[in-house]
Amino acid sequence: MNSVHLIISSIVFLIIESITAAPATSIIFTTLGRSRYAFDIFSLPIEINGYELQLTDGHSVNFNGHFASPYNQTVITDSTVADPPPVHLLYVTERNGSSSIYLDVVSYPGLDRTRKRSVLETGSTRSQRRLVGGSDGRISMKDRPSLVGESLIYVSTHEETGVGRTSWAAVYSTQLSTGLTRRLTPQGVADFSPAVSPSGLWTAVASSGENGWGGEVEELSTDIYVFLTQNGSSRVKVVEHGGWPSWVDDSTFYFHRRGDDGWWSIYAAILPQNMPFTVDSVVTRRVTPPGLHSFTPAASLTKNIIAVATRRPGSDYRHIELYDVASGKFKELTQLVAPRANHYNPFISPDSSRVGYHKCRGAGNNGKMIKNDLFLENIKTEKPDISLFRIDGSFPSFSPDGNRIAYVGLPGLYVVNSEGSGNREIDPDVSAFSTAWDPKRKGVIYTSVGPTFASEDTDVDIYSIEVDADEPGYTKLTTGGQNNAFPSVSPDGKWVAFRSGRTGHKNLYIMNAIEGEKGGLTQLTNGPWSDTMCNWSPDGDWIAFASDRHNPGSGSFGLYMIHPNGTGLQHLIHSGSAGRTNHPWFSPNGTHIVFTSDYAAVSAEPISNPHHYQPYGDIFTMKLDGSELTRLTHNSYEDGTPSWGPKFMTPENIQWSVDEEKCAFEDSQWLAITNRVDDAKIQCGG
Ligand SMILES: *[C@@H]1O[C@H](CO)[C@@H](O)[C@H](O)[C@H]1NC(C)=O
Ligand SMILES: *[C@@H]1O[C@H](CO)[C@@H](O)[C@H](O)[C@H]1NC(C)=O
Ligand SMILES: *[C@@H]1O[C@H](CO)[C@@H](O)[C@H](O)[C@H]1NC(C)=O
Ligand SMILES: *[C@@H]1O[C@H](CO)[C@@H](O)[C@H](O)[C@H]1NC(C)=O
Ligand SMILES: *[C@@H]1O[C@H](CO)[C@@H](O)[C@H](O)[C@H]1NC(C)=O
């Protein structure tokens, strides 16, 4: 009995071994600001003075909600009705390592309106259902859900375009009873921010059309198209230049656009009575006035009001306000509840009793902090042999055995065990960026110290640091401080490749790993361009790096590799002629690289997110011959600085109790009003 069992399990083991022949490995990367979001969906009543309800459950990041059924106004205001009917809420969540769409039905049985207790105290009951995403189907970003009958309409990024620097965002319809999914966006086109008309007949989208993505990060150049929700047919452009549509009735919708005067405003579009619609037959007019930014409209179906997000002069915060179309007056909503918190992407219940939005839970005036945050968040991939993690830190790298991670805090330098224990602050104040471990000398890491994104003559130098010493010993390896950065060590531990601006251009150099420059220095690349972010292959034969040598000074970077003796230069990948691909890192077996790239462009309107300098960065892997290009992350954030380690980490989140404010992030900097004129100058002047 036992031996039979043993034989069977050995056979199973052999089969598993042969399927996953490649040794399993781990990749870690950073997402700018994401660890600070902790978004939940909240709501406020529109007419009466009520208190803010938290609608989602406080797990993970929950955003872009949509009320799937009326929230009955009578019941809310009538104090004789004991139990208000449940809220039906659709939303996007990032729990369990991938983006999915949930439907929560939340009841507030003990909600005592007279005493104004908070909803957390009253206790709610919740039923929760995952509609799409998660373990079923392909990994992708999901966005902007709505329900028509039993069909879910939403954005997903699961189909690759096959063309660099084009967005994978497209609108799909999934029949919930059968799971049958249909693409509504034509091939070769990206659609964002779908909105379904009240009858369900039409869907409006912000679309980049066939022009693709030109690298915009503030306002996408999108037009609004309308098509039949049922099958995507009768698709027609109805508005040039606009995004984020929201229907009032089946022939009118609002949208946002940044006008010629620089202000984001809400506009109305009125479609003609009969098809076919054309841009010329659609009447558009500006609705909200200049003097403040108004965007991401949500129209009421029953009242002449729009919920909008605003940025007002002198405020750094995004708030939800109601705009009365007839009187032209704004009414503040979230400003009264949490003036010093950002609030995003409003939506209104069909009976116009409540407005929903998302914000950081715990943000606001109560000073509540978020505890138990994720230090290493496991992200699902379609690669069973790769364990992928987002780390709450920058420029992470694995020790040679994979058991430790070095990372920087911008500022600060840290080392932690890969399973999350033993975090050590090597230096909390050092302005270190990039980390690399010595493959031979145990506990030695290399980093560059100084400002990032700086010019060639900036004071940046490379140090090696013995992190296991009682008093961490620093050795300065470069001199002269001419932006010496991104060290990477040869597998024999003898040499360090790095970039330096010492000739007036950033090129690659190799120096002695122990004594630094004075122990030997050679220039590896030479030219009036920028070579940077180098990584030495595990077999020692290649140094991969990012460079703009194809178009110096353009800001466009591609990946290259070269032999350490300066021969054999090869171009690895470039995402379109103007694209940005950076931070290459070899797989432990040297056959692949991981990197960050704008290859899949942007996945959502950037204005619907907090600030990201580059809302297009995703993590990809690729074989060195250019084949097997694989997108690992799908989101609308800035993912970067990946590195690859030799050990498979258990794909589970690692939580840390933190005592710091986790809701500290900036709203879109380019909406700041005080410096608007200067900003415009900077952009025009390059
Ligand atoms: C090398 O590593 C890559 C990435 O993990 C993997 O896909 C590939 O199968 C490995 N090759 C071999 C020969 O193990
Ligand atoms: C709202 O609830 C009240 C009380 O239950 C009910 O009489 C009324 O018909 C409801 N209104 C709508 C629009 O469902
Ligand atoms: C998914 O995430 C939720 C909330 O974080 C958690 O309670 C649940 O256990 C997770 N489910 C799985 C299968 O990991
Ligand atoms: C799409 O649906 C409409 C009705 O909703 C129908 O008239 C039309 O024939 C359909 N087109 C296709 C290509 O299936
Ligand atoms: C340069 O190095 C590569 C591998 O590292 C080697 O194959 C090649 O022969 C070398 N070329 C010269 C000219 O030394």
Which atom of ligand 2 approaches the CA of 73 most closely?
A: 1
* Ligand number nearest to the C-alpha of 387: 1
Give bridge partners of residue 459 from the DSSP assignment. Answer: 482
Which atom of ligand 5 approaches the CA of 565 most closely?
A: 1
- Ligand 3 centroid to 60 CA: how many Å? 9
Phi, psi (deg, nearest 5) at residue 486: 55, 60
Task: Mean pLDDT check: name the lowest of 230-234, 334-338, 678-682.
Answer: 678-682
pLDDT of residue 76: 44
pLDDT of residue 470: 86
- Ligand 5 centroid to 447 CA: how many Å? 28
Is residue 453 scored above 80 in pLDDT? Answer: no
Q: Please tell me which residue, 86 or 132, carries the higher pLDDT value.
A: 132
* Cβ of 373 less than 6 Å from ligand 5: no
* Ligand number nearest to the C-alpha of 94: 3
Domain boundaries, the chain: 373-658
* Cβ of 211 less than 6 Å from ligand 1: no
pLDDT of residue 370: 55
Q: Is the peptide bond before 411 cis (omega within 30 degrees of 0)?
A: yes
Q: Distance between CA atoms of 562 and 544, rounded to whole angstroms?
A: 7
Q: Answer left, alpha or beta for residue 337, where phi above 0 means left and psi between -120 and 50 means alpha.
A: alpha
- Ligand 2 centroid to 71 CA: how many Å? 9
Rounded to an integer, the average pLDDT of 121-138 is 80
Q: Is the peptide bond before 109 cis (omega within 30 degrees of 0)?
A: no
Both tokens of residue 176?
């919930």
Rounded to an integer, the average pLDDT of 554-569 is 97
Among 38, 31, 26, CA closest to 655: 38
For a mutational test of ligand 3's pocket, the pick from 96, 378, 655, i.e. the residue with the most ligand atoms closer than 8 A to its C-beta, is 96
Both tokens of residue 95?
């729990």
* Cβ of 77 less than 6 Å from ligand 2: no
How do 25-31 and 386-391 pair as beta strands? Answer: parallel
CATH 2.40.50.100 for domain 373-658: no
pLDDT of residue 361: 87
Nearest protein Cα to ligand 1, atom 11: 22
Which atom of ligand 1 approaches the CA of 644 most closely?
A: 5
- Ligand 4 centroid to 271 CA: how many Å? 20
* Cβ of 417 less than 6 Å from ligand 4: no
Residue 152's CB is within 10 A of a number of other CB atoms, namely 22
Nearest protein Cα to ligand 4, atom 11: 233
Nearest protein Cα to ligand 2, atom 12: 72
Task: Mean pLDDT check: name the lowest of 11-15, 144-148, 231-235.
Answer: 11-15
| Residue 86, CB-side half-sphere exposure with 13 Å CA sphere | 14
pLDDT tens digit sequence for 277-287? 888 899 999 99
Q: How confident is the model at residue 120 (pLDDT cuts 50, 70, 90)?
A: very low
Q: Distance between CA atoms of 330 and 586, rounded to whole angstroms?
A: 54
Is residue 135 scored above 80 in pLDDT? Answer: no
Q: How confident is the model at residue 518 (pLDDT cuts 50, 70, 90)?
A: very high
Q: Distance between CA atoms of 666 and 341, rounded to whole angstroms?
A: 10
Among 549, 408, 428, CA closest to 485: 408
- What DSSP string runs through 529-588? S-EEEEEE-TTSS-EEEEE-TTSTTSS-BEEEEE-TTS---EEEE-SSTT-BEEEEEE-T
Among 419, 416, 421, CA closest to 406: 416
Rounded to an integer, the average pLDDT of 475-481 is 91
Secondary structure string (H, E, C) spanning 598-649: CCCCCCCCHHHCCCCCCCCCEEEEEECCCCCCEECCCCCCCEEEEEEECCCC
- Ligand 2 centroid to 301 CA: how many Å? 17
- Ligand 3 centroid to 107 CA: how many Å? 21
Q: Answer left, alpha or beta for residue 512, where phi above 0 means left and psi between -120 and 50 means alpha.
A: beta
Which atom of ligand 1 approaches the CA of 591 most closely?
A: 1
> What's this model's pTM, rounded to 2 decimal places?
0.91
- Ligand 1 centroid to 590 CA: how many Å? 8
Nearest protein Cα to ligand 2, atom 13: 72
pLDDT of residue 210: 79
pLDDT tens digit sequence for 169-210? 999 999 998 999 999 999 999 999 999 999 999 999 999 977
- Ligand 5 centroid to 576 CA: how many Å? 31
pLDDT of residue 14: 47
pLDDT of residue 9: 47
* Cβ of 24 less than 6 Å from ligand 1: no
SS3 category, 421:
coil
Nearest protein Cα to ligand 3, atom 7: 59
- Ligand 2 centroid to 176 CA: how many Å? 28
Give bridge partners of residue 190 from the DSSP assignment. Answer: 209
pLDDT tens digit sequence for 208-238? 977 789 999 999 999 999 999 999 999 999 9
- Ligand 2 centroid to 68 CA: how many Å? 16
Q: How confident is the model at residue 589 (pLDDT cuts 50, 70, 90)?
A: very high
pLDDT tens digit sequence for 288-308? 999 999 999 999 999 999 999
Is residue 420 scored above 50 in pLDDT? Answer: yes
Rounded to an integer, the average pLDDT of 637-654 is 96
Task: Mean pLDDT check: name the lowest of 178-192, 556-570, 654-668.
Answer: 654-668
For a mutational test of ligand 3's pocket, the pick from 91, 95, 129, i.e. the residue with the most ligand atoms closer than 8 A to its C-beta, is 95
User: Which residues have C-beta atoms less than 6 Å from ligand 3?
Assistant: 59-60, 95-96
pLDDT of residue 371: 52
Rounded to an integer, the average pLDDT of 495-523 is 96
- Ligand 3 centroid to 655 CA: how many Å? 13
pLDDT of residue 7: 46
Rounded to an integer, the average pLDDT of 455-471 is 90
Task: Mean pLDDT check: name the lowest of 153-167, 293-307, 354-368, 413-427.
Answer: 354-368
Is residue 11 scored above 60 in pLDDT? Answer: no
Both tokens of residue 642?
């990946």
Both tokens of residue 640?
């970067």
Which atom of ligand 4 approaches the CA of 232 most closely?
A: 1
pLDDT tens digit sequence for 348-374? 998 898 999 999 987 554 445 555 578
* Ligand number nearest to the C-alpha of 568: 5
Q: How confident is the model at residue 657 (pLDDT cuts 50, 70, 90)?
A: confident
How do 243-249 and 87-93 pair as beta strands? Answer: unpaired
- Ligand 2 centroid to 92 CA: how many Å? 29
Q: How confident is the model at residue 678 (pLDDT cuts 50, 70, 90)?
A: very low
Nearest protein Cα to ligand 1, atom 10: 22
For residues 295 and 607, the answer to whether their CB atoms sit within 8 Å is yes
Rounded to an integer, the average pLDDT of 69-83 is 49
- Ligand 4 centroid to 186 CA: how many Å? 15
Rounded to an integer, the average pLDDT of 80-93 is 77
pLDDT of residue 564: 98
Q: What percent of the chain has pLDDT over 90?
A: 74
pLDDT tens digit sequence for 627-641? 999 999 999 999 999
pLDDT of residue 686: 25
* Cβ of 231 less than 6 Å from ligand 4: yes
Is residue 78 scored above 90 in pLDDT? Answer: no
pLDDT of residue 77: 45
